[in-house]
Amino acid sequence: MHGQNPVFIPGPTNIPDRLRQAMNIQTRDHRAPDFVEVLAPVLEDLKKVFKTKNGQIITFPASGTGGWEASITNTLSPGDKVLVGRYGMFSHRWIDLCQRHNLDVEVIECEWGTGAPADLFGERLAADKAGEIKAVLVTHNETATGVLSDIAAVRKAMNSASHDAMLYVDCVSSLGSMDFRMDEWGVDLAVSGSQKGFMLSTGMAIVAASEKAMEASKTAKCPRCFFDFKDMVAANAGGGYPYTPPLQLIFGLRESLDMLFEEGLDNVFARHFRIAQGIREAARAWNMPLCAKTPDLYSHSVSAIYVPEGLNSDILTNHAYDNYGVSFGVGLGEMAGKAFRIGHLGMLSDVLALSGVATIEMAMKDLDYPIELGAGVAAAQEYYRTTAGASLSKAA
């Protein structure tokens, strides 16, 4: 029975039975002529989630990190300068990846709990008269801190600086849960994965590349083999992969897309906002602040919550797991021991969210946290009860 409890980590997420069944397929020939009938519609329908008409969808058997590496190696050359803000663990990891590929990484240090520094990006790009900066890298949804950055503001700053740098966006924990507008925001490379908003097992990196990025891939000199855009695009055009594809995930992704479209993307985004707001009401009742500094930065897929001074958040999450069999996200990087995270994305409803709030609240009470048992649950219940059927217009 232990395995029946939901997880409240920000990914991998809970897998609906419908998707588990879709991935439970027998081996089939991925080089058969009719495989294109499975693969091509999946790649085309992914454009609807990225909200791109001309973007090239490219998938690899990998996690989101593989998508990062593919984006970097296919469009840049050793020594190229990239500009990135460090405001959480995942923006930090992207910096590390770029440095390992011998890129010239210019880092803007930001306080954790803040988002992408659009204004500072704009100032730096305006000063780059020689056009040395080839790309700006942004983490859309920083899962370490529960911060959602304004990608439109970053693009506006880049345009105001009249700079030709490409815009790369990590949307691993936002795509399929929150609105993403690749074309409107002028994103050149968007990186996601199968294990979060798509509610599948880990194992597929999903990349959307603009025409500008695809053109850059023709001259980029970073080494790549497994992650070569050219090889994958050519094979996909013929209805296949350049090597053995993750068939179960492709079939699962077909079903996941169907589920998202049946609910309606706007309704999916509204549901995530509403569930997240209930979690935030619970945190307010506990008198525990979010890591995100201001409401405009609040993520709708994960909330990072500070525990009271003198308490260790790792002890709390371990206690919840050991005593109640439920997983919550631990604090990462600067948040280690100071904050825990509640993932509220993918297959989630009001009822499931309330079970997570109740569980972590019990664990807090067990550890003598200064809370009133039931306060967070009641706050979330009141919000969900009074906003049932809320529309996207209310979420906005």
Query: Does one domain contain both 286 and 235?
Result: no
Position 265 scores a pLDDT of 98
* Strands (E) located in the chain: 56-60, 81-86, 104-109, 133-139, 141-142, 147-148, 166-170, 189-193, 205-209, 302-306, 339-343
Query: Does one domain contain both 130 and 247?
Result: yes
Handedness of CA 27, 29, 34, 35 (dihedral sign): positive
Query: Does one domain contain both 218 and 285?
Result: no
Return the SS3 of 170: strand
Query: What domain range is 240 assigned to?
Result: 17-261
Query: Does one domain contain both 235 and 323?
Result: no
Q: Is residue 3 part of a domain?
A: no
Query: Does one domain contain both 347 and 377?
Result: yes
pLDDT > 90: percent of the chain: 93
Token output for 342: 């509640």
Position 28 scores a pLDDT of 87
Q: What is the pLDDT of residues 202-250, one digit of tens each?
A: 999 999 999 999 999 999 999 999 999 999 999 999 889 999 999 999 9
Q: Residue 328 is part of a domain; what is its CATH number?
A: 3.90.1150.10
Query: Does one domain contain both 320 and 365?
Result: yes
Q: Residue 243 is part of a domain; what is its CATH number?
A: 3.40.640.10
Number of domains in the chain: 2
Position 34 scores a pLDDT of 87
Q: Is residue 140 part of a domain?
A: yes
Query: Does one domain contain both 199 and 326?
Result: no
Position 393 scores a pLDDT of 37
Q: Is residue 2 part of a domain?
A: no
Query: Does one domain contain both 351 and 255?
Result: no
Q: Is residue 8 part of a domain?
A: no
Can you list the residues of the chain whose pLDDT is less than 70?
A: 1-3, 389-396
Position 390 scores a pLDDT of 54
Position 2 scores a pLDDT of 56
